[in-house]
Amino acid sequence: MLGAVLVGLSACGIWIGVHAGLAQVLYHSAKHGPNSGDVDRVLSLCCQAYDLYPWNYYFAIYAAEAAYYRAGEPGGARWRDRMESARLWCDRGLKLNPWKSQLRRLESRFLWEESPAKAISYWSAYTDWNYWEPYNHQVLAEMYSKAGDFGHAHREIALISSFPEADIARQTVEKERRTWDAMLRGDASGWGE
C-alpha cells in the first residue's frame, strides 16, 4: 500500500515537473526568443505557459508588462485589446503574489485611470509594507505631484534624500509643479483645450 502511494506521489511530481519545465521553456522563448518583440506572440506563449503551469507569477508579470508598455497609442487599433490583456495578466499575477512590486505598480496605473486618490492609497499601502525600498517612495512622490499634492510629494522625497531615487523624484515633482503652475495661470495646453 505504501509503495502504491509513493509511486502515485512520484508520478504527480513528475507530471508537475514536466509541465513546469515546458512552461519555463515557453516563457524563455517569449522573453528571449526571436519573436520577443511581437506582443501578440509573447502573449500567446505566456498563455500556453500559463495553461501548463499556472503557478508562476513571472509569466503574468511579463505578459502584463508587454501588453501594457507596448500597447501603442491610446485609442489605436490594438490599444484597447492590449490594455484588456494587461489587466487580465495583472489580475492573474496579483492572485498569485499580491506583493510583487511590478504587479502592484501596474495595478496602481490602472487605478489612476479610475481615481488618482485610489491609486495613491493603493501604492501607499504597498509602500508602508515595503517601506525601506526607496523606489516605492519615489513613485509615491511622483504620484502625489501628478495629483497636485506637492506637500506630500516633498515629504516622500525627504524620506529618501540620501538615495539616487530622490533626485529622480525631485525632477518629476518640479516638472509637475511647473505644469500645475502653467495650468493655473491658463498657459498649459493639453488639459482639454
**For the residues of 118-179, what is the DSSP string, one character each?**
HHHHHHHHHHHHTTT-HHHHHHHHHHHHHTT-HHHHHHHHHHTTTSHHHHHHHHHHHHHHHH
Question: Residues 70, 82: contact at Cβ < 8 Å?
Answer: yes
Residue 173, pLDDT > 90, answer yes
Least-confidence region, from 13-17, 135-139, 147-151, 154-158: 13-17
The CA distance from 17 to 152, in Å, is 48
C-alpha cell at 59: 509569466
Confidence of residue 116 (pLDDT cuts 50, 70, 90): very high
- CB neighbours of residue 153 within 10 Å: 25
- The average pLDDT across 154-175 equals 97
Amino acid at 74: P
Checking if the pLDDT of 13 tops 50, the result is yes
pLDDT at 191: 46
- Can you say how many angstroms the Cα of residue 117 is from the centroid of all Cα atoms in its chain? 18
DSSP annotation of 54? T
Give me the percent of the chain exceeding a pLDDT of 70.
Answer: 97
pLDDT (average), residues 62-91: 91
- CATH code, 13-99: 1.25.40
- Domain spans of the chain? 13-99, 115-185
- Please tell me the distance from the alpha carbon of residue 70 to that of residue 43, in angstroms, as a whole number: 12
Residue that wins the pLDDT comparison between 114 and 74: 114
Q: Kindly state the average pLDDT of the residues 105-122.
A: 97
Exposed/middle/buried for 91, CB within 10 Å: 0-12, 13-18, 19+? Answer: middle
Q: Residue 74 carries which DSSP code?
A: T
* pLDDT, averaged across the chain: 92
| pTM, two decimal places | 0.86
